Amino acid sequence: MKKKTIINRLFIISVSLLTAGVIVLSCAKTQHFKLSQFISPDTCGGCHSEIYEQWLNSMHNTAHKDPLYVQVSHFLRKGLTNGDEIKEAESCVKCHTPVGVVSGYPTKVSDDRSKVAEIAREGIQCDYCHSAVSAKKMYNNGLVLSPGNGMEDPGTKRGPFKDSKSDFHKSAYSEFHTGSEICGTCHNVKHVVFDTVLESTYDEWKNGPYNSKDPAKRITCQGCHMYQRPGIAATGSTERPANPGKAADDGPERKHIFTHYFVGGNSLVPGKMGDEAKNKMALERLQNAAVLEIDAKKAASGEIEVIVKNTGAGHFLPTGLTDTRQMWLEIEVKDSRNRIVYSSGKVGPRGYLADTTIMYNTIFGDGKGNRVINIAKAREILRDRRIPPQSSLKEKIKFSAKGSKSISVSVKLLYRIAPQKIVDTVLGTGKLKIPVVKMAEVKKQITL
**Residue 294, strand partner residues:** 306
- The answer to whether residues 293 and 265 belong to one domain is no
CA distances (Å), 213 to each of 163, 210, 390, 406, in order? 28, 9, 16, 48
| 230 alpha-carbon distance from chain centroid | 19
Structural domains of the chain, count: 2
User: Shortest CA distance to 326 belongs to which of 348, 305, 307, 345?
Assistant: 345
- The answer to whether residues 354 and 392 belong to one domain is yes
- The answer to whether residues 156 and 116 belong to one domain is yes
Amino acid at 306: V
CA atoms within 13 A on the CB side of 327: 26
- The answer to whether residues 331 and 234 belong to one domain is no
- The answer to whether residues 331 and 377 belong to one domain is yes
- Alpha-carbon distance 173 to 162, whole Å? 5
Residue 122 lies in domain: 22-179+220-269
Q: Would 132 be classed as within a structural domain? A: yes
> In this structure, are residues 182 and 135 in contact, taking their beta carbons and an 8 Å threshold?
yes
Q: What is the pLDDT of residue 140?
A: 98
Task: Report the 3 state secondary structure along the chain.
Answer: CCHHHHHHHHHHHHHHHHHCCCCCCHHHCCCCCCHHHCCCHHHHHCCCHHHHHHHCCCCCCCCCCCHHHHHHHHHHHCCCCCHHHHHHHHHHHHHHCHHHHHCCCCCCCCCCHHHCCCHHHHCCCHHHHHCEEEECCCCCCCEEECCCCCCCCCCEEEECCCCCCCCCCEEEECHHHHCCHHHHCCCEEECCCCCCEEEEHHHHHHCCCCCCCCCCCCCCHHHHHCCCECCECCCCCCCCCCCCECCCCCCCCECCCCCCCCCCCCCCHHHHCCCHHHHHHHHHHHCCCEEEEEECCCHHHCEEEEEEEECCCCCCECCCCCCCCEEEEEEEEEECCCCEEEEECCCCCCCCCCCCCCEEEEEEECCCCCEECCHHHCCEEEEEECECCCCEEEEEEECCCCCCCEEEEEEEEEEECCCHHHHHHHHCCCCCCCCCEEEEEEEEEEEC
Q: Would 34 be classed as within a structural domain? A: yes
- The answer to whether residues 332 and 237 belong to one domain is no
Q: What is the pLDDT of residue 6?
A: 38
Beta strand 359-365 with 170-173: parallel, antiparallel or unpaired? unpaired
Question: What is the residue-level pLDDT of the chain in tens, covering all 448 positions?
Answer: 443 443 344 333 333 333 333 333 333 455 899 999 999 999 999 999 999 999 999 999 999 999 999 999 999 999 999 999 999 999 999 999 999 999 999 999 999 999 999 999 999 999 999 999 999 999 999 999 999 999 999 999 999 999 999 999 999 999 999 999 999 999 999 999 999 999 999 999 999 999 999 999 999 999 999 999 999 999 999 999 999 999 999 999 999 999 999 999 999 999 999 999 999 999 999 999 999 999 999 999 999 999 999 999 999 999 999 999 999 999 999 999 999 999 999 999 999 999 999 999 999 999 999 999 999 999 999 999 999 999 999 999 999 999 999 999 999 999 999 999 999 999 999 999 999 999 999 999 999 9
User: Shortest CA distance to 122 belongs to which of 229, 200, 32, 44?
Assistant: 44
- Alpha-carbon distance 108 to 101, whole Å? 8
- The answer to whether residues 146 and 263 belong to one domain is yes
Torsional class of 390: left (φ above 0), alpha (ψ -120 to 50), beta (otherwise): left
Q: Would 60 be classed as within a structural domain? A: yes
- Alpha-carbon distance 251 to 325, whole Å? 40
Q: What is the pLDDT of residue 31?
A: 82
- The answer to whether residues 43 and 151 belong to one domain is yes
- The answer to whether residues 293 and 247 belong to one domain is no
Q: Would 2 be classed as within a structural domain? A: no
Q: Would 6 be classed as within a structural domain? A: no
Q: Would 89 be classed as within a structural domain? A: yes
- The answer to whether residues 245 and 338 belong to one domain is no
Q: Would 196 be classed as within a structural domain? A: no
- The answer to whether residues 246 and 302 belong to one domain is no
- The answer to whether residues 376 and 237 belong to one domain is no
Q: Using alpha carbons only, what angle is made at residue 444 by residues 439 and 448, rounded to the nearest 5 degrees?
A: 150
Q: Would 320 be classed as within a structural domain? A: yes
